[in-house]
Structure 1
Amino acid sequence: MTERTETACGGPRAAAGPQEGVVETRIPARLDRLPWSGWHWRIVIGLGTVWILDGLEVTIVGTMAARLAEQGSGISISTAQVTTVAAAVYVAGACAGALFFGRLTDRLGRKKLFMLTLAVYLAATAVTALSWDAWFFFVCRFFTGFGIGGEYAAINSAVDELIPARVRGRIDLIINGSFWIGAALGAFASIALLDTSLFAADVGWRLSFGLGVVLGLVILLVRRHVPESPRWLAAHGRVDEAEAVVAEAERITEEHTGSALPPVTGEPIRIRERAPIGFLTIARTVVTRYPRRTVLGLALFIGQAFLYNAVTFGYAAILTTFFDVPQADTGYYFAVIAVGNFLGPLLLGHFFDSVGRKPMIAGTYIGSGVLLFGTAVLFQQGALSAVSMTACWTAVLFLASAGASSAYLTVSEVFPLETRALCIAFFYAVGTAAGGISGPLLFNGLVSTGKASDTTLAFCIGAALMTLAGLVEAAIGVRAERRSLESLATPLSAVGRAGA
């Protein structure tokens, strides 16, 4: 292959001195300089809206646990099996799917995998509606999680490689935070679907899964128009395709803004096309080249995974156990919490790009931990009602949601291009296995005793993990705001500075 460099306008030209298998490009700089346009909205809508679907389904399953266990529901399963076993199986499937599809995403491309993972997710969700026994429900939940785990790897890597560096933080946070739009919709939907005057006990919960499938099919149609990552294409020798994607983005942006684009600045990069990188090479890169970043990623993921999986699957149980809230009314309270969760990334997201990653990530993690400790004290003293408990949790999760979303942002930014999807998958899988499986099991086990002291202990464990993660960020966090991905972690296929 002839080496390529960039002309003044950013297009490729043959270099005077050919070098086998090397391309020189300013594709990253060209993408990062683009003003926001309809091209970026296409990406956000096509990729980001799947978290709304995930939030919808997870919330409905949590709020319908008691209905599934009722006589006449059409499925033989207990409340504990839904809130504990099914929750753990779902998370285990997500961990497995993240690792399996994450590796394929780095090898086969972002677009192929974010289409495939959504298809797996939709198929498993549809079949869940046909469940008649606990074992079949568990199998469906595993494969639903398997698909959504792959989504986390494929979506986050694609978004960060397509969105300009100056707004990457806020966009990533808002996209990941949109899970809570779905959670709020799911909470409200569960109110109607649990109403036996509207739907029979064996119909309402099945319709909830059907609703998710319909929304998912719409997302799948939109997603067809999202392009492959030009960064991934260039690294795999498909420079002409990468150039075509960037040229299309530039054309749409110029039409949208009505003015010429700013000039391309920054150093070009030189990349050597290479064979697929083995898992051992990736593992060695992550652990030996970036050990501090590895510790950072694990701390952030474990803290948020424990807190969020415990709350998502356990808050309805707290309301019914300690505050005598009817099962059919828990959706109202959860909807309030969900709105607070989305407002966190929405209102705080821009500070992650302006104030910076380290102070904002550390602040949101530590702040949410401190507020949760305070909530635990008030709960233990019996000073809270269902309304005031919900207000406390809303405040806690307003900060925690922004922090949790930044965990995905962090690991997708600070590792090389060729490992990005698998790194997201690895940290998601390890963090979620540690916090997402143990969280619901421990949290529900403590809540089910009916003792306030046991639930207080669960709160304190979650608060301690979030606070500890925030302290780790303060100590070794990476200042990634407004920096190109290539400046944060040099691609493994890079061969030195352009022109060297």
Structure 2
Amino acid sequence: MSVVTDEPKGAVHRSLVPARMDRLPWARFHWLVVVGLGVSWILDGLEIQIVSQAGYQDSLGLTTAQVGAVGSVYLAGEVAGALVFGRITDRLGRRKLFMVTLGIYLVASGLAGFSWDLWSLLVLRFIAGTGIGGEYTAINSAIDELIPSHYRGRVDIAVNGTYWGGAAIGAAANLYLLSDQVPQNIGWRIGFLIGPTIGVAIIVLRRHIPESPRWLMTHGRQAEAEQVVDDIEDRVRADGAELEDVPDSKAIEIVPEKSITYRQMARVFFGQYPRRSILGFSMMVTQAFLYNAIFFTYALVLEHFYGVSKAHTSYYFFPFALGNLAGPLLMGHLFDTIGRRKMILLTYGLSGLLLLVSAFFFHAGVLNATTQTAFWCVTFFFASAGASSAYLTVSEIFPLELRAQAISFFFAISQGAGGVVAPFLFGHLIGGQNNPHPDRTPLFWGYVIGAIVMMIGGAVGWFLGVNAERQSLEDVARPISARDNGGGAVSAATT
């Protein structure tokens, strides 16, 4: 697999592409990027919520274990898609892959609505998952590289937080589609078509989003990179903005690389940036553990300990989703102003502390379904912003040439820890469903563990975090292809 270049191997060129992109004011072009690329998280939240209601169980004659397998297969597809497409994204470019991965999702998710048995559903859910997993790597890379450094944190965090907007849409749709007003064998099939319908509209927008000029710059396609930036600047000027000239002193010298080997990746992760690798691992795993522990068992808790009927648990989900959505939208800008490390410590620490307090109230039996949900809302207002900052962190603290692969690597780890271990563990802590006087102690200790894990993630973020706010990506992590690459990145805790 080769990459087309317009310069001979080993040629050195000076580029102002990063500096020109970072000095741009906010314009309609950036809204196009946010809307056109940010929809991926909405689609994932929608998919998870549609599937979690299991409206297809009776129609296809599935057992509870088989329903669980459908959810697990989707998560496995996300991991596989992230790892495979992350590598390809770094080699072939962001634009090609965010078109391909969305197309894969559209087709597979739409066809899942026509599933006729367990195996057809499993195969199509796995393929749809690969598309969404690939989306994460391609679109997060593109957003970071197209958004000016002044706004990168708030945009990335807000986009990642929109997962919960999608989950709320899915829950609202299920209230109607899985009700008695819609035939049982029809409602869930329509649900699988909601995401593709949104995706078809978005794929039209994506045709107007260019390739990342930063990616072109590091792959020897300097002329194309300059042309893309010229076009973006023309769009910004068309909005009435005046752009100052960028001094030549801000140029970066690049020696293009065709591809990055796995050996080079290992040297970057464990040789050049071991502290950052620990940071990424800690932040991603701790937030995933907390999230999946609560999200995949909240309905069981409401049913088992508070006597809420299964049909009514969706009503309690809406305020839970609202808190999760509001956190990143309202707090995202603080990661650009107050700073990454301070906000990571604050969001992780407060969410862990609030969960710890609610655990003691839960154990004392003083909460009801409403107050328990209220605690979750406030807790995840902070936790959602923190979790979104984990995705922001792993996408900006490693060199451009392996950005998508870094995202896929840590995403796969977090899904393994959070998507498998946490729901399994907390499901067992809840215990049997037929006990009229359920024991709260095991789940209490589960909540305590989840709270401590989250606070540990915040502490690691404080001590090992990178002050990347308003910094150019090339200053946060020098490109591998930069001629002066010798550890010139922003220091981990002191700058």
Give TM-score scaled by structure 2 length.
0.92
1:238-387 matched pairs, under 5 angstroms: 238-256=221-239, 258-265=240-247, 267-387=250-370
* Distance in structure 2 (CA, Å) of the matches to 1:317 and 1:132: 29
* Distance in structure 1 (CA, Å) of the matches to 2:122 and 2:430: 22
Report the CA distance between 1:86 and its aligned residue: 2.9
Are 1:77 and 2:58 an aligned pair? no
Report the CA distance between 1:80 and its aligned residue: 4.3
Report the CA distance between 1:430 and its aligned residue: 1.2
* Structure 1 match to 2:489: none
* Structure 2 match to 1:92: 76
2:151 match: secondary structure: helix
Give the AA of the match of 2:280.
G
Report the CA distance between 1:174 and its aligned residue: 0.4
User: Do the aligned partners of 1:76 and 1:132 also contact (CA within 8 Å) in 2?
Assistant: no
Report the CA distance between 1:200 and its aligned residue: 1.4
* Distance in structure 2 (CA, Å) of the matches to 1:295 and 1:208: 39
* Structure 2 match to 1:454: 442
Report the CA distance between 1:53 and its aligned residue: 1.5
Report the CA distance between 1:111 and its aligned residue: 0.6
* Structure 2 match to 1:39: 29
| Match for residue 149 of structure 1 among 123, 133, 148 | 133
User: Do the aligned partners of 2:10 and 2:256 also contact (CA within 8 Å) in 1?
Assistant: no
1:184-263 matched pairs, under 5 angstroms: 184-196=168-180, 198-256=181-239, 258-263=240-245
1:237 match: secondary structure: coil
* Distance in structure 1 (CA, Å) of the matches to 2:41 and 2:198: 11
* Distance in structure 2 (CA, Å) of the matches to 1:135 and 1:463: 38
Report the CA distance between 1:136 and its aligned residue: 3.4
* Structure 1 match to 2:453: 465
User: Do the aligned partners of 2:284 and 2:390 also contact (CA within 8 Å) in 1?
Assistant: yes
User: Do the aligned partners of 1:46 and 1:219 also contact (CA within 8 Å) in 2?
Assistant: yes
* Structure 2 match to 1:9: none
* Distance in structure 2 (CA, Å) of the matches to 1:220 and 1:460: 43
User: Do the aligned partners of 2:282 and 2:460 also contact (CA within 8 Å) in 1?
Assistant: yes
* Structure 1 match to 2:103: 119
Report the CA distance between 1:314 and its aligned residue: 2.2
* Structure 1 match to 2:470: 482
CA change 1:85–1:453 in 2 (3 A) is: farther
Are 1:105 and 2:89 an aligned pair? yes
* Distance in structure 1 (CA, Å) of the matches to 2:356 and 2:47: 29
* Distance in structure 2 (CA, Å) of the matches to 1:382 and 1:443: 19
2:59 match: secondary structure: coil
* Distance in structure 2 (CA, Å) of the matches to 1:262 and 1:170: 24
Give the AA of the match of 2:245.
P
User: Do the aligned partners of 2:9 and 2:256 also contact (CA within 8 Å) in 1?
Assistant: no
User: Do the aligned partners of 1:87 and 1:440 also contact (CA within 8 Å) in 2?
Assistant: no
* Distance in structure 2 (CA, Å) of the matches to 1:313 and 1:191: 18
Root-mean-square deviation (CA), in Å? 1.8
1:495 match: secondary structure: coil
Deviating more after overlay: 231-240 vs 121-130 = 121-130
CA change 1:442–1:141 in 2 (3 A) is: farther
2:243 match: secondary structure: coil
Q: CA offsets per residue over residues 379-421 of structure 1, 9 Å max, x none?
A: 1222111111111000110000000000111011110010100
Give the AA of the match of 1:400.
A
| Match for residue 175 of structure 1 among 151, 156, 159 | 159
Report the CA distance between 1:448 and its aligned residue: 4.7
User: Do the aligned partners of 2:17 and 2:214 also contact (CA within 8 Å) in 1?
Assistant: yes
* Distance in structure 2 (CA, Å) of the matches to 1:344 and 1:444: 27
Give the AA of the match of 2:157.
L
2:250 match: secondary structure: coil
* Structure 2 match to 1:52: 42
Any unmatched runs of 5+ in structure 2?
1-6, 486-495
* Structure 1 match to 2:372: 389
1:494 match: secondary structure: coil
* Structure 1 match to 2:492: none
1:202 match: secondary structure: helix
* Distance in structure 1 (CA, Å) of the matches to 2:276 and 2:95: 27
Report the CA distance between 1:19 and its aligned residue: 10
* Distance in structure 1 (CA, Å) of the matches to 2:222 and 2:198: 35
* Distance in structure 2 (CA, Å) of the matches to 1:19 and 1:131: 50
2:483 match: secondary structure: strand
Report the CA distance between 1:329 and its aligned residue: 2.1
* Distance in structure 2 (CA, Å) of the matches to 1:27 and 1:107: 19
* Structure 1 match to 2:403: 420
Give the AA of the match of 1:76.
G
User: Do the aligned partners of 1:105 and 1:154 also contact (CA within 8 Å) in 2?
Assistant: yes
* Distance in structure 1 (CA, Å) of the matches to 2:76 and 2:108: 15
Deviating more after overlay: 35-44 vs 323-332 = 323-332
Deviating more after overlay: 130-139 vs 427-436 = 130-139
Deviating more after overlay: 481-490 vs 275-284 = 275-284
Give the AA of the match of 1:148.
I
2:81 match: secondary structure: helix
User: Do the aligned partners of 2:78 and 2:131 also contact (CA within 8 Å) in 1?
Assistant: yes
User: Do the aligned partners of 1:184 and 1:336 also contact (CA within 8 Å) in 2?
Assistant: no
Deviating more after overlay: 219-228 vs 73-82 = 73-82
Q: CA offsets per residue over residues 457-489 of structure 1, 9 Å max, x none?
A: 332232222111111111111110010000011
Report the CA distance between 1:76 and its aligned residue: 2.1
Give the AA of the match of 1:219.
I
Report the CA distance between 1:151 and its aligned residue: 1.0
1:11-22 matched pairs, under 5 angstroms: 21-22=11-12
Q: CA offsets per residue over residues 335-388 of structure 1, 9 Å max, x none?
A: 111111111011111110000000101110111011111111111222111111
Are 1:437 and 2:425 an aligned pair? no
CA change 1:321–1:138 in 2 (3 A) is: farther
Report the CA distance between 1:135 and its aligned residue: 3.6
* Distance in structure 1 (CA, Å) of the matches to 2:212 and 2:429: 45
Give the AA of the match of 2:49.
T
User: Do the aligned partners of 1:302 and 1:465 also contact (CA within 8 Å) in 2?
Assistant: no
Aligned length: 473
* Structure 2 match to 1:5: none
Give the AA of the match of 1:47.
L
Any unmatched runs of 5+ in structure 1?
1-13
